Amino acid sequence: NAGVTQTPKFQVLKTGQSMTLQCAQDMNHNSMYWYRQDPGMGLRLIYYSASEGTTDKGEVPNGYNVSRLNKREFSLRLESAAPSQTSVYFCASSDGRRGPYGYTFGSGTRLTVV
Amino acid sequence: QKEVEQNSGPLSVPEGAIASLNCTYSDRGSQSFFWYRQYSGKSPELIMFIYSNGDKEDGRFTAQLNKASQYVSLLIRDSQPSDSATYLCAGPMKTSYDKVIFGPGTSLSVIP
């Protein structure tokens, strides 16, 4: 009953470095999401994937890329990290249907860019 | 106007009291709303959802939706110190109803 697993939990990057945040879910959900959370800003959608093989931009996609590797995995890549990308990143999944279906979130990745 | 707005608080209530958390939204077409609870340093967890006018009760929690006034609220009865957390209101994104947009959250502190 792992749910949504994110790795790593913590990361410090230097400006300009790249990294990939990994996310995997074992609930057979179709939809997966990447959010970032900043103080006072709430959760903001970066990218999402409605199903395997599809991805689309959210509210704040600049500086990020994603890959939906298969139904289980959805990764987020920072090609050239900037201090403005210091944040807590959450991956989430859902069954993707309309209606009152909520998300299941991973435990988060706390990223600091110096 | 932001799609989903909340008073950031902090809201403090004594143990045993009713905590009332409010959220307003801008899209009249929104049909369903969610309340998430987030403990400090943890990820959000879904605690309630509501998709019709009126009240929905689940234990000590009651969600209320008023579509005419475009607000949704969460009442927590008999508040406990373990209820101290940030509560996030979320509703469908105006441009795409299969995605959710979150409010900034209201911090609740229940004082023993």
Count of CB contacts below 8 A, A vs B? 52
Rounded to whole angstroms, how far apart are CA atoms A112 and A67?
22
Question: What are the φ and ψ backbone dihedral angles of B83, each rounded to 5 degrees?
Answer: -80, -10
Q: Which two tokens stand for residue A31?
A: 């939809």
The verdict on whether omega for the bond into residue B10 sits within 30 degrees of 0, i.e. cis, is yes
Q: Using CA atoms, how far apart are residues B93 and B3, in angstroms rounded to an integer?
A: 8
pLDDT value at residue B111: 96
* pLDDT beyond 60 at A96: no
Which of B25, B30, B43 should one mutate to test binding to chain A, selecting the residue with the greatest count of A CBs within 10 A? Answer: B43
- Return the C-alpha torsion angle A106, B42, B14, B89, nearest 10: -40
Q: How far is A16 from chain B (nearest CA, A)?
A: 27
Of the pLDDT bands very low, low, confident and very high (cuts 50, 70, 90), residue A39 is confident
Q: How confident is the model at residue B7 (pLDDT cuts 50, 70, 90)?
A: confident
- Chain A residues near residue B102 by CB distance under 8 angstroms: 35, 42-44
- Top pLDDT among B67 and A20 is at A20
Q: Which two tokens stand for residue A20?
A: 């990939």
Q: What is the pLDDT of residue B52?
A: 80
Contact criterion met (CB < 8 Å) for B44 and A42 = no
pLDDT greater than 90 at residue B97: no
Per-residue pLDDT of A58-95, as tens digits, reads 989 999 999 998 999 999 999 999 999 999 999 999 87
Alpha-carbon distance A53 to A50, whole Å? 9
Q: CB–CB of B26/B70 below 8 Å? A: yes
Both tokens assigned to B77? 């009865």
Say what the pLDDT of residue A42 is. 85
Asked if B46 and A90 come within 8 Å (Cβ–Cβ), the reply is: no
* Tokens (6 digits) for B60: 């000590």
> Chain B contact for A31, CB < 8 A?
yes
In this structure, what token pair is assigned to residue B99? Answer: 């995605």
Structure confidence at residue B2 (pLDDT): 67
**Mean pLDDT, chain B, whole residue set:** 89
Contact yes or no for B98 and A96 at CB 8 A: yes
Share of chain A above pLDDT 70, in %: 94
- Work out the minimum CA distance from A82 to partner chain B, whole angstroms: 23
* Residue B31: pLDDT band with limits 50, 70, 90: confident
Which of A105-109, B8-12, B17-21 has the lowest average pLDDT?
B8-12
Work out the burial of residue A107: count CB atoms within 10 Å of its CB; fewer than 13 is exposed, 13-18 middle, 19 or more buried: middle
pLDDT at A101: 59
**Percentage of residues of chain B with pLDDT beyond 70:** 94
**Digit-coded pLDDT (tens) for B43-86:** 999 898 888 888 999 999 999 998 888 899 999 999 999 999 99
Least confident of A70-74, A110-114, B26-30, B81-85: B26-30
Cα-trace Rg, chain B: 13
Q: What local confidence, expressed as pLDDT, does residue B14 receive?
A: 97
Let me know: does B62 contact B50? Beta carbons within 8 Å.
no
Q: Are B31 and B92 in contact (CB under 8 A)?
A: yes
